[in-house]
């Protein structure tokens, strides 16, 4: 078995179409078919169920795809890390984050990192909670900043910031900070919320805040991006409930009012994979 066999298998497993996979690999379709046949014969198992119209992975093929994805991704990471080291760097740390982490927590970490370990490079990507979890499990990210109640057993989670909730209203809304007493004052308003795709746990917390105030919110719009939510509020399309820390970093015509006397709070947590082999990860965790 050669490395190219794994690449050929991965392409077919992702495309489930020999013609498309061959075009992607810049080889002939008959040649690709022969390579997959050789791989199956060498392993002694059938990896694909195929006829004239369909190509599907067998159960063995499904398992093999997960392992091949891991192997090829790890090789790619290793190649990048050794290039960094050859250039005098210690390596690269790949960080996923929610937008709310970019206001304070993430910049604080990067400042410490640049000060203590200037030879560590970072790559940053804003992603949803679930995508961060999946990418960390697949070793495509090293760290993630999420808002989740729990994570799978192979991941570690540490709370790094506890936050209150605030109501966001247009700057000219008749209810001001001085007259704001309860979310219940907004029971007749339309609400703009972070989508449950952002975090189902977080979404349920928002609904719980409204239920505790005696009403169910009339949800007009949803988004996974804070700036989109704030723009909609700014244009009078509803009000929103968000973590209080999100008021930093935006120059918008909206007003933040911290919600008083509620039991709910939100935590930003750091997650990573216990079996992650990136040599710079341990150094960064010491800064958290």
User: Given this model, what pLDDT does residue 88 score?
Assistant: 60
Q: In angstroms, rounded to a whole number, what is the distance separating the alpha carbons of residues 226 and 205?
A: 17
CA 77 to chain CA centroid, nearest Å: 19
3-class SS shares of the chain: helix, strand, coil, % to 5? 45, 25, 35
Q: In angstroms, rounded to a whole number, what is the distance separating the alpha carbons of residues 99 and 268?
A: 11
User: Given this model, what pLDDT does residue 165 score?
Assistant: 95
Residue whose C-alpha is closest to residue 4's, from 52, 71, 99, 84: 71
pLDDT in tens, the chain (288 residues): 888 889 999 999 999 999 899 999 999 999 999 999 999 999 999 999 988 778 999 999 999 998 898 888 888 878 877 887 777 677 889 999 988 787 788 999 999 999 999 889 899 999 988 899 999 998 899 999 998 889 999 999 999 999 999 999 999 999 999 999 999 999 999 999 988 877 788 889 999 999 999 999 999 999 988 889 999 999 999 999 999 988 887 788 999 999 999 999 989 999 999 988 888 898 888 888
Write the CB contacts of 72 (distance below 8 Å, at least 6 apart in sequence). 6, 7, 10
Sign of the Cα torsion 137, 138, 142, 143 reads negative
Q: List residues bridging with 153 in a β-sheet.
A: none
First CA to last CA across the chain, in angstroms?
43
User: Given this model, what pLDDT does residue 237 score?
Assistant: 96
| Tokens read off for 266 | 């939100």
**CA–CA distances in Å: residue 218 to residues 38, 190, 221, 230, 256:** 59, 5, 9, 17, 20
Write the CB contacts of 277 (distance below 8 Å, at least 6 apart in sequence). 74
Interstrand relation of 165-170 and 240-243 (parallel, antiparallel or unpaired): antiparallel
User: Given this model, what pLDDT does residue 50 score?
Assistant: 87
Q: In angstroms, rounded to a whole number, what is the distance separating the alpha carbons of residues 150 and 148?
A: 6
Task: Name the pTM for this structure.
Answer: 0.69
How many C-beta atoms surround the C-beta of residue 56 within 10 A?
12
Q: Side-chain half-sphere of 24: how many Cα atoms within 13 Å?
A: 15
CA 112 to chain CA centroid, nearest Å: 23
Sign of the Cα torsion 80, 86, 87, 89 reads positive
Residue whose C-alpha is closest to residue 212's, from 244, 193, 184: 184
């Amino acid at each position: 078995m050669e490395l190219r066999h794994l690449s050929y298998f991965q392409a077919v497993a992702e495309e489930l179409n020999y013609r498309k996979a061959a075009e992607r690999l810049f080889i002939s379709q008959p040649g690709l078919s022969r390579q997959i046949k050789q791989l199956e014969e060498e392993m002694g198992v059938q990896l694909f169920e195929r006829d004239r119209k369909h190509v599907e992975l067998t159960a063995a093929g499904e398992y093999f795809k997960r392992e091949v994805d891991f192997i090829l991704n790890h090789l790619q990471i290793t190649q990048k890390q050794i290039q960094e080291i050859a250039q005098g760097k210690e390596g690269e740390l790949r960080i996923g984050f929610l937008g709310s982490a970019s206001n304070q927590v993430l910049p604080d970490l990067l400042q410490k990192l640049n000060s203590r370990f200037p030879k560590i490079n970072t790559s940053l990507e804003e992603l949803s909670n679930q995508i961060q979890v999946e990418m960390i499990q697949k070793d495509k990210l090293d760290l993630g900043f999420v808002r989740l109640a729990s994570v799978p057993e192979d991941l570690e989670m540490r709370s790094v910031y506890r936050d209150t909730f605030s109501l966001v209203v247009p700057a000219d809304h008749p209810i001001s900070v001085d007259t704001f007493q309860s979310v219940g004052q907004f029971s007749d308003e339309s609400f703009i919320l972070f989508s449950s795709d952002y975090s189902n746990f977080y979404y349920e917390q928002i609904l719980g805040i409204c239920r505790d105030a005696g009403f169910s919110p009339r949800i007009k719009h949803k988004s996974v991006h804070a700036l989109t939510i704030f723009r909609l509020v700014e244009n009078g399309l509803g009000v929103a409930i968000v973590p209080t820390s999100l008021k930093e970093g935006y120059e918008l015509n909206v007003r933040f009012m911290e919600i008083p006397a509620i039991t709910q709070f939100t935590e930003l947590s750091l997650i990573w994979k216990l079996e992650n082999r990136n040599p710079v990860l341990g150094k960064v965790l010491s800064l958290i």
